[in-house]
Structure 1
């Protein structure tokens, strides 16, 4: 797996939604309270949004410096 593939997956909203759903399911099965599940899901969503934004900006900045448009690849 190439570095670009990993970065693309980390910037995917579907990936972060999957992690939030997985955490919700595991915490619920483990008997965590509603507040705990809500907080963990919120943190995962926030981290996912930040990661997606930073990676997208990095790709756009890299493409503008090289003169190409790699953001569309």
Structure 2
């Protein structure tokens, strides 16, 4: 079974799961509340950026009608 990482990283549910899971582990290992809050904030901030970047690339791809893997100097005759 192949995992679609692009879809996973673009999922807000995935980032909420990750933040909750890591926070729970930190609490279980008696890490201070301040540190738990900082780690959770970093995870959710990174998740927000990742979702935004992937969403914008999808919108840009749809707007141009081109495959994002093609480069400007390729053999495309448009």
**What is the aligned partner in structure 1 of residue 40 from structure 2?**
41
Task: Give me the TM-score of the superposition, normalised by structure 2.
Answer: 0.77
Greater radius of gyration (CA) = 2
Task: Give me the TM-score of the superposition, normalised by structure 1.
Answer: 0.82
Displacement of 1:66 after TM fit?
Answer: 1.1
Once the two structures are superposed, residues 14-43 of structure 1 have per-residue CA deviations (whole angstroms, 9 ceiling, x without a partner) of: 000000001101100111000000000000
Aligned length in residues: 65
Q: Does 1:10 align with 2:27?
A: no
In proportion to residue count, which structure has more helix?
1
Gaps in structure 2 of 5+ consecutive residues: 67-78
RMSD: 1.3
Structure 1 runs of 4+ aligned residues shifted over 4 Å read none
Gaps in structure 1 of 5+ consecutive residues: 68-73
Q: Pairwise mapping of residues 1-73 of structure 1 onto structure 2 (< 5 A)?
A: 1=2, 5-66=4-65
